[in-house]
Amino acid sequence: MQIENTTAMIPPPIEPDPDRDHSTKITINLSMDEMATTQEIPPQSMTPRSLYFAYGSNLSFTQMRLRCTGNPDRSSKPIAIARLDHWRWLICQAGYANVVPPAALRVSKEFEDFGDEVPVSGDEDAVFGVLFDMDVADEKLLDVHEGVDHHAGPSQHPDRVPVSVRPTEQGQGDYNKWYVPATVTTWLDEEHQRRWGGDVVNILVYVDENRARVSAPKVEYISRMNRAIREAETIGFPKKWAEDVMRKSIPLV
C-alpha cells in the first residue's frame, strides 16, 4: 500500500521590502454620539469652581430653585454663610440690590462719584451673603436673570483690577461677574467644607458697576427681599446685620 506524503509544504519566509512602510495604519470613524459615549468625562464635582455669593433676593433658596431648573437640588442648596469685607450693600437706581467694592477696586465713574455715599455696611463694614455651589448650566440661567452681557469686551482696567477678578466690561448688561475671595463665617454642609477647605473661598458675585447710588426698591422687590431675608435667617444669616443694613431700604411686610 502506497502512503502519500502529507507533510505540509511551508513556504519560505518573505523578506521585507526595505523601501516599504510596514507600519499598520488604522482609521476609526466615530460619530459625535459615539464620541460622547466613549469619552470619559470627569464629574463636575472633581473640578471646583467659584461658589455663588447671593446677597439680594437670591438669598431665598425658594427663588433659587425656581430659577435654577437645570439641577435645582444642587444649585438651590445653601452651603455656607459668607462675608465680603469692606464691600457695601445698597438698593441702587434700578430698584434692586447691589454691592460696591472697596475703593481700591472701583473702576467705573459711577463708583468713583457715588461709592463713598453708600453707608458703611454694618459695624463690620462688610456684606453678608449665602453661598451656593451651582451647576454650570444653572449659572448660565442665572446670568440671564441677572442680565449679564456675554458680548461685552475684555476688561479695560487690568491695571486697577486684575483680569482674574473682573474678566470683562459690563457692556450693555445689568450686572457684571466678579470673582473675589470671601470669608466663610458658617459652613452649613460638611461635605462642601471638606471639599473647599479653610474659611476663605473664591466666589462669584454679580456687581452693577453702572448704578451705585442709593435709591428706593421696586415695589415688587420688597416682597421678594422680605422672603429672602426670612429664609436666610432660618439658616443662620446674621439678623443684626440684616436689620442694620437691609432694613434701611427694605420695609418689613
Confirm or deny that 232 is annotated as ligand binding. no
User: Is 56 annotated as a binding-site member?
Assistant: yes
Find out whether 206 is annotated in a ligand binding site: no
CB 188 within 8 A of CB 80: yes
97 marked ligand binding residue: no
- Determine whether the annotation assigns residue 53 to a binding site: yes
In the 8-state DSSP scheme, what is residue 11?
A: P
* Residue matched to cell numbers 513556504: 11
Rounded to an integer, what distance in angstroms lies between the CA atom of residue 161 and that of residue 155?
Answer: 9
| Cell output for 75 | 444649585
Cell of 163: 483680569
C-alpha–C-alpha distance, residues 52 and 64, integer Å: 11
Q: Is 60 annotated as a binding residue?
A: no
* Residue in this structure with the C-alpha cell 431700604, named with its chain if needed: 249
- CA–CA separation, 81 and 187 (whole Å): 7
Say which DSSP state 102 is in. Answer: -
Chain-centroid distance, C-alpha 152: 18
Three-class SS state of 242: helix
Distance, CA of 129 to CA of 147 (rounded, Å): 20
Q: Which residues are annotated as a binding site?
A: 52-57
Binding site, annotated residues for substrate: 52-57
